[in-house]
Amino acid sequence: MKIINTKILSLKMPQTRNQLIALEQTSSETFSKYFSSKTSRFNEKKVSLSVKNNESKSISKETEQTLTKTVTQSTFEENVTVDKSSKKPLSNWEEVYQRIKEYRKTSIAPVDDMGCAKLAEKPGPNITPQTSRFQSLVALMLSSQTKDQVTAEAIQNLRQKLPGGLTLQSVLQADEKFLDQCISKVGFHNKKAKYIKSAAEICQETHGGDIPNTVEGLVKLPGVGPKMAYLCMHTAWKQNEGIGVDVHVHKIVNRLGWCKTEKKGPESTRRALESWLPRELWQEINPMLVGFGQTVCITNMPKCANCPVNDKCPSSKY
């Protein structure tokens, strides 16, 4: 590396041993200052820890460790989609939450009677736990971009028209076109019929006739995303692994100012909520806000005048 420095150029050739030592010390100090100034101006996103030729002799192990830590941290922060500000929720969130919760106790919504959590038959003499869990999974798969009333009707059709009712075995034996006819009113019914058939085959071959018992296993099924997986863990396995964020939850928490993830999507909203919302509320927040979105905080025409938190909501138009 060529270093231009007036201090070095002005030095004369050493005539004595003392002058030679002085020259070596001066050159070393100048080189060190030069390299340090260059290092401090490195862009963290473009730092290369492999220093070539003479530069590698001057960089210390401590500097390498520092740079490695900086680059790793910078890369990690870029990949994290959670808004850091979401870890500090609005100070009044508990009051708002409780108001909505109280309001929902007397405000009946479609999700309360026909939501996915209500559609599976409970285990009993004629319904095995495996069948009940499979019905929960199918209900969730049908519910995507479909109203609760339509999903409930499709589940009822499957129970009545499939020989033996809605079970894993009846789906395995049914023709895909027949399944499609039974669920023809739900959104994207063609794809969902194919997904349900494939999911049943995977459950039979890989999970011993039951549905996967982890979020990771559920999302590997065709047509099953994170929202469905977390809700399925709630309803089918009674395990609280995460928040099920659908369009209602995503929309409302952003309107309330609890998250700043409106343009980032439901998964970013889920991670943001889970960073501060107490875990014991993860399961109940979905049906609570879904019903609130169905009756009051409607997507295109929110009824702000009837909202129990219109004096606290930053998005209120009342």
Q: How far, CA to CA in Å, does 108 sit from each of 140, 153, 238, 295?
A: 21, 19, 24, 8
The position carrying tokens 């969730």 is 140
- 87 belongs to the catalytic site: no
Read off the tokens for 292.
């609130």
Give the separation between CA 8 and CA 34, rounded to whole angstroms.
13
Our CA angle for 133, 138, 247, nearest 5°, is 110
Q: How far, CA to CA in Å, does 284 sit from each of 27, 140, 225, 277?
A: 69, 17, 19, 12
Give the separation between CA 219 and CA 123, rounded to whole angstroms.
24
Q: Catalytic pick from 33, 227, 263, 264?
A: 227
Give the separation between CA 6 and CA 34, rounded to whole angstroms.
13
Q: Which of the residues are catalytic?
A: 227
